[in-house]
A and B are shown apart, each in its own frame.
Chain A
Amino acid sequence: MEKIYVDHAATSPMHPEVIKVMTDLMPKFYGNPSSIHHFGREARHIVDQARTTAAKSIHADFTEIIFTSGGTEADNLALIGTATANENRGKHIITTQIEHHAVLNTCKFLEKNGFEIEYLPVDQYGIVRMEDLKKALRDDTILVSVMFANNEVGSIQPIAEIGQLLKNHPAYFHTDAVQAYGVIPINVQEMGIDMLSVSAHKLNGPKGIGFLYVKNGTKMTPHLYGGEQERKRRAGTENVPAIAGFAKAISESLRTQTEKINRYKQFKARFIEILTEEAIDFRVHGLAEHTLPHVVNISFTGINVEQMLVNLDLEGIAASSGSACTAGSLEPSHVLRAMFGSDSSELYNSIRFSFGFGNSLEQIETVARKTAKIVKRLTNN
């Protein structure tokens, strides 16, 4: 049976070109970029080129990119680094209830260390309201962290508006763009973003690499101390092959961005069309125009997530309940709870399908038909 992977928001297969770039490089350019000899200089050059690619992709400067071990480290560095460096100005931080745990659990850590965190609610479409943010902003607010787009339901947040609002406030603005990057064009200057997290494995790059964009002039302490790599902001021997692979993934992603967006929109439309044709009882979360093109989160009346996922898996379909990180435990989603409340049935009957590299329209049609079949079987109609 053909396996169909529609869980690209959890992680994505590496692009063959990315694997090639990395494995070609490994046996040849294995120097330590800090070494002063030829091998070191070659490795440094590769890292520098990748940094330029990363910077250009969001209209940032070369010096504003810090490579990290992934999205989690980027989020931890952004939050803890700026909180620690700016606590003399205030200890108030604003974020949302629907952040990834890399942000939420970092906020909990900061709370333990004396910071005050305000978790903004979202509307039923999974989007924060500007009025709530305006109300929450205080003179001693030092940081606002709002994700670019949510990983479970795909809701896109009003990032440019928040950036605009914060232009007149000293608080730094961080956005976790791990899910949005690659499928939404990002311009950090126009959007007024001070820090932005990206993870390579969500865009067909390798696992274990990411970057944090940090606007020049931002006061931040490092999270990893050691050598003088990354302009003393992130110590540790640079992961040269992964950085090169990441750069390749970025180029591929940007080169195909428009086409990808259109294709995923088509996938999503067709998916919903088939479910409608099959006349099952379902509801798509979020507002189409404010949702990531490749993510669709659907609640199916009368089903149970766990049972549904097992059945999908038996049919060769890899989908998810939401975040892979909270998965495994299958605790009710904090995102759906924020959208619908603690008692809602959506907490127990929602499935996330996320499209990506390698998916074809036929595959998506198969997924839709099989999903409908399973739902009918499980609900006996």
Chain B
Amino acid sequence: MIYFDNSATTKPKKEVVDTFTKVATEYYGNPSSIHSIGLQAEKLLMQSRKQIATLLGVKDHEIIFTSGGTEGNNMVLKGVASQFQGRGKHIITSAIEHPSVSNACEQLKRDGFEITYLPVDKNGRIHVEDVKKAIRPDTILVSVMHINNEVGTIQPIEEIGKLLANYPRILFHVDHVQGAGKIPLAFHDIPIDFATLSSHKFHGLKGTGAIYIRDGVKLDPLLAGGNQERNIRSGTENVAGIVAMAKALRISMEKLDEKVANMQKIIAYLRNELALIDDVEIHTPIEYTAPHILNFSVLGYKAEVLVHAIANHEVYVSTTSACSSKRNEPCKTLLAMGVDEEHASSSIRISLSFDNTMQEAKEAVEAIKTSIEKLKLAMRR
């Protein structure tokens, strides 16, 4: 069995599951309770916050725990919009964001905000000059993802940060969900005001995530209630899940350079081998690319059919992004890159984790080749 769908979700590490089990069993208190059982839970929460902050190079109180990437993105977009609407109602984002950003933007549009969706080039990258051109006196937020989940392009986050440093009234949000634990970002130096993380993308558990909020930056909460998380995010904290997330991030960032280098070798191998197959076109650019994602089309075959055919070999890849894969729609990022509909509808995504091996890549290539050949024969008949 070869699982190559790690951008959709990852398998939690054994240590992560063990941590969850231990905390869930022994530290069940509510961190808001003032008795010692509650205090123990609160202490664990504080330690996890510190650990995650240290790994990300930020201050403890700049980390707010959430239920995942979607909540994080909604919280920042809606929270900034609500907090700063007096200042302006214009938001800049890209044409290739995850639906948790783009659909939140569409909702804001219905609420009277104006959204500029920046185009991308043929490599799926936005240009910092376009950001500059889009800036208006009433712009309050720029939200750009770090690594695109469909094709893997890395966006020019540092450059955008540098540009926006000249506009102190414009806040900068980065959807870091695909980058966290793989390609670190220097939040403070860039500088970034908000970044979203989701634990299940780096071998943590589903239903936990975090946002980084730069010291002193305010936003209206998305969830009102008991005023946990410095009044920014109410709801009883998922202590066991949070401790497990700290563990997962730490493990992911151990020997990171080595692991990324190995992953790059595997992805390069896949790229080269798949490119040799007739009718295969690789969409993921060579430069400015995440080490774990490879998007390609096999012209003439519906992505979904091919995904199932490959799965018959116990190799699991996906059609574009998991969230939209059910609708059988063409890949949104590819369309934005100028890829034609036919290619965009037949695109397949391989996404690796640090645990995948070269041997698996070899077997996967064979499985993909065989699947294409079989489909070809079936079609001829």
Binding site for B on A (CB under 8 A): 3, 5, 7, 10-14, 16, 19, 22-23, 26-27, 30-32, 34-40, 69-73, 75-76, 100-102, 105-106, 108-109, 199, 201, 206-209, 221, 223-229, 235-242, 309, 312-313, 317-321, 323-328, 330
Whether B68 lies near A237 (C-beta < 8 A) is yes
Query: Among B5, B28, B34, which residue has the most Cβ atoms of chain A within 10 A?
Result: B34
How far is B307's CA from A32's CA once the two chains are assembled, in angstroms?
Answer: 15
How far is B208's CA from A231's CA once the two chains are assembled, in angstroms?
Answer: 21
Residues of A within 8 A of B223 (CB): 72-73, 76, 102
Using CB atoms, name the residue of chain B closest to A225. B103
How far is B208's CA from A312's CA once the two chains are assembled, in angstroms?
Answer: 33
Using CB atoms, name the residue of chain A closest to B303. A36
Residues of A within 8 A of B324 (CB): 227-228
Whether B235 lies near A70 (C-beta < 8 A) is yes
How far is B233's CA from A76's CA once the two chains are assembled, in angstroms?
Answer: 12
Whether A235 lies near B206 (C-beta < 8 A) is no
Which of the residues A27, A313, A319, A324 comes within 8 Å of B12, measured between beta carbons? A27
Whether A69 lies near B316 (C-beta < 8 A) is no
Query: Among B206, B226, B227, which residue has the most Cβ atoms of chain A within 10 A?
Result: B206
Shortest A242–chain B CB gap in Å is 5
Whether A207 lies near B70 (C-beta < 8 A) is no
Judged by a CB distance under 8 angstroms, whether B9 is at the interface is: yes
Residues of A within 8 A of B33 (CB): 7, 10-11, 318, 320, 324, 327-328
Which of the residues A27, A75, A229, A236 comes within 8 Å of B225, measured between beta carbons? A75
Shortest B53–chain A CB gap in Å is 20
Shortest A123–chain B CB gap in Å is 26
Shortest A87–chain B CB gap in Å is 12
Given contacts A19-B24, A224-B71, A236-B67, list 7 more A-B pairs with CB under 8 A.
Answer: A30-B11, A35-B316, A207-B237, A207-B241, A227-B70, A237-B9, A325-B228
Whether A239 lies near B207 (C-beta < 8 A) is yes
Shortest B241–chain A CB gap in Å is 6
Whether A72 lies near B28 (C-beta < 8 A) is no
Query: Among A19, A208, A229, A235, which residue has the most Cβ atoms of chain B within 10 A?
Result: A208
Which of the residues B35, B68, B322 comes within 8 Å of A309, measured between beta carbons? B35
Whether B200 lies near A237 (C-beta < 8 A) is yes
Using CB atoms, name the residue of chain B closest to A229. B323
How far is B201's CA from A169's CA once the two chains are assembled, in angstroms?
Answer: 46
Interface SS, A side: loop
Whether A30 lies near B9 (C-beta < 8 A) is yes
How far is B206's CA from A26's CA once the two chains are assembled, in angstroms?
Answer: 10
Which of the residues A236, A318, A325 comes within 8 Å of B68, measured between beta carbons? A236
Question: What are 14 A-B contacts defined by CB distance under 8 Å?
Answer: A3-B37, A7-B29, A11-B33, A23-B20, A32-B9, A34-B8, A71-B235, A106-B225, A199-B236, A223-B74, A237-B322, A238-B206, A242-B206, A313-B34
Judged by a CB distance under 8 angstroms, whether B166 is at the interface is: no
Q: A12-B28, A208-B238 are in contact. Are A40 and B38 (CB under 8 A)?
A: no
**Beta-carbon contacts of B72-97 to A below 8 Å, as 1s and 0s?**
01100000000000000000000000
Residues of A within 8 A of B8 (CB): 31-32, 34-35, 40
Q: A324-B32, A324-B33 are in contact. Are A36 and B25 (CB under 8 A)?
A: no
Which of the residues A37, A70, A109, A236 comes within 8 Å of B318, measured between beta carbons? A37
Whether B99 lies near A105 (C-beta < 8 A) is no
Whether B224 lies near A227 (C-beta < 8 A) is no
Whether B104 lies near A226 (C-beta < 8 A) is yes
How far is B238's CA from A239's CA once the two chains are assembled, in angstroms?
Answer: 12
How far is B17's CA from A318's CA once the two chains are assembled, in angstroms?
Answer: 28
Within 208-262 of B, Cβ neighbours of A (below 8 Å) are at: 208, 222-228, 234-241
Q: A26-B12, A37-B311, A69-B67 are in contact. Are A225 and B226 (CB under 8 A)?
A: no
Within 21-59 of B, Cβ neighbours of A (below 8 Å) are at: 21, 24-25, 28-30, 32-38
Whether A23 lies near B17 (C-beta < 8 A) is yes
Whether B226 lies near A27 (C-beta < 8 A) is no
Whether A37 lies near B224 (C-beta < 8 A) is no
Shortest B255–chain A CB gap in Å is 22
How far is B224's CA from A108's CA once the two chains are assembled, in angstroms?
Answer: 9
Whether B30 lies near A10 (C-beta < 8 A) is yes
Residues of A within 8 A of B24 (CB): 14, 19, 22, 206
Q: A69-B207, A106-B224, A226-B99 are in contact. Are A37 and B70 (CB under 8 A)?
A: no
Judged by a CB distance under 8 angstroms, whether B188 is at the interface is: no
Q: A242-B206, A242-B207 are in contact. Are A326 and B226 (CB under 8 A)?
A: yes
Residues of A within 8 A of B106 (CB): 225
Q: A72-B235, A208-B238, A236-B68 are in contact. Are A318 and B35 (CB under 8 A)?
A: yes
Residues of A within 8 A of B237 (CB): 207-208
Q: A10-B32, A19-B21 are in contact. Are A36 and B37 (CB under 8 A)?
A: no
Using CB atoms, name the residue of chain A closest to B18. A23
How far is B6's CA from A35's CA once the two chains are assembled, in angstroms?
Answer: 11
Whether A323 lies near B37 (C-beta < 8 A) is no
Judged by a CB distance under 8 angstroms, whether B107 is at the interface is: yes
Judged by a CB distance under 8 angstroms, whether B123 is at the interface is: no
Which of the residues A32, A236, A321 comes within 8 Å of B100, measured between beta carbons? A236
Whether B322 lies near A226 (C-beta < 8 A) is no
Shortest B211–chain A CB gap in Å is 14
